[in-house]
Structure 1
Amino acid sequence: MSEIFLMYELDQRPAARSLTGESRVEERPVLRVHAASAAPGSSSKPGPRTLCGQDTFAMETASWKASEHCGSSWYPPEHARLVCAQCDAVMEV
């Protein structure tokens, strides 16, 4: 299998504002963790769709790579409860 990219589907809510009306910089929470194959002809960019068929355009590519963590699953342990069941099923094959 080619390189697999970990993709984060993030909460799309706008950043919260403080009492003074200034925008607070907040990290958007991860809603779901997906897997995507490499883009055609590339090994450094994810393809346009996740393994479950969702568009990767609005997702964030994670820096975590299973190939760098021996014996680990394709996703980081702290996101185990957020894994897309369809992507996980494809990865199991």
Structure 2
Amino acid sequence: MSEIFVMYELDQPLAARSSTGIPPVEERPVRRVHAANAAPGSSTTPGPRTLCGKDTFAMEAASWKPSEQPGSSWYTPKYAPLVCAQCDAVMEV
């Protein structure tokens, strides 16, 4: 199997509330965690689609690399509840 990338599908940023003096939120929360193969001919760039078929263009690649974590799951443990069930099923095969 080629290199696997953990991809974060992010929520939209929260609107800034200027009347309350609260600074705008810079970080976009993770909505779902997907897996993607490397792009053809590359080991450093995720491919265009996740294993469940979603477009990776608007997703963010995680710094977590399953190949560097022997014996652990393919996804970042912090986001275990947000793992895409379809990507997870493909990874278990």
TM-score greater than 0.5 by the shorter chain:
yes
Give, in whole Å, the separation in 1 of the partners of 2:90 and 2:80.
16
Aligned to 2:6: 6
Aligned to 1:56: 56
- Structure 1 residue 25: Cα displacement: 4.0
Question: TM-score w.r.t. structure 2 length?
Answer: 0.89
Specify the code of the residue in structure 1 equivalent to 2:68: E
Alpha-carbon displacement from aligned partner over 1:45-78 (angstroms, at most 9, x marks no partner): 0000000000000000111111222211000111
Aligned-pair Cα RMSD in Å: 1.8
Count of residues in correspondence between the two structures = 93
- Residue pairs, 1:75-90, within 5 angstroms: 75-90=75-90
* Over 2 Å off, 4+ runs: 13-23
Give, in whole Å, the separation in 2 of the partners of 1:48 and 1:21.
40
Aligned to 2:37: 37
After superposing the two structures, state which structure 1 stretch, 44-53 or 17-26, moved more. Answer: 17-26
- Residue aligned with 1:50, SS: coil
- Structure 1 residue 41: Cα displacement: 1.0
Aligned to 1:17: 17
Identity within the alignment, %: 78
Aligned to 1:74: 74
Give, in whole Å, the separation in 1 of the partners of 2:68 and 2:15.
33
Q: Which runs of 5 or more structure 2 residues have no equivalent in the other structure?
A: none
Question: TM-score w.r.t. structure 1 length?
Answer: 0.89
Give, in whole Å, the separation in 2 of the partners of 1:80 and 1:54.
19
Specify the code of the residue in structure 1 equivalent to 2:50: T
Q: Please identify which structure carries the higher strand content.
A: 1
Q: Which runs of 5 or more structure 1 residues have no equivalent in the other structure?
A: none
